[in-house]
Amino acid sequence: IINIFFFTVFLFNNNNKNVWSAYNQNLNFPYEITFNEPIDYRTIIEPFIRLIMGYTTVSIEPKEFYWFAWDITKKPCRLVSLIEAQQFNIGDGEGNKLYLNHVVTQPKYEHQKIASTLLERVEQYAWTNNFNVIELYAPDDKRLYRKYGYKLKSQTGDQMFKKKS
C-alpha cells in the first residue's frame, strides 16, 4: 500500500513536467520516464486497473504500446508507454539512459520487428539493473509479445523472461 501511495504521489506531482518518477523501496532508486508529448491519461488508470485485476490483461484500447517493468517482488516500479513516432528514454536515477526510437506505422504488421527490438534492448537493460520481471503488452490484440529464443514462465498472471539456456 505504501509503495502504491508513493507511486501515485510521484506520478501526479511530475505529470505537468512530463516526467514520472516512481521510488521503489526495494531497489532504492527512482525510475524516471520522460515523454516528448502530452501524457495520455489512460496510462495513469491502467496500472490501478491491473492491480485490482491481479496483474491480468485488461480491455483498454489506446493506440499506444505498453511495456511494464516489475521488480522481483512483483510490485509495480515503472510504466512506459511507447507512443507512435515518439522517442523516450529510461533513466535509472544514476545518469544511465536507455534510448529507444521507433516509428509505429502499422502496428498489426510491425509487431514482430518492434517487439524483437524492444525486448532485446529492454531485457539487456533489466538484467544489468537487478530486476527480472518484464512484461510487454499489446493492447490491440490482447497478447504478450514474445522474443524468439527466450522462454516465458507464467506466475500469477505475470510473464517472466528467462535468459537463454
Q: Which domain holds residue 90?
A: 2-162
Give the span between the Cα atoms of 119 and 104, in whole angstroms: 16
Number of domains forming the structure of the chain: 1
Question: What would the pLDDT profile of 53-65 be if each residue is shown by its tens digit?
Answer: 554 443 333 333 3
pTM over the 0.75 mark: no
Residues of the chain with confidence (pLDDT) below 70: 1-165
Residues pairing with 154 in the sheet: 159
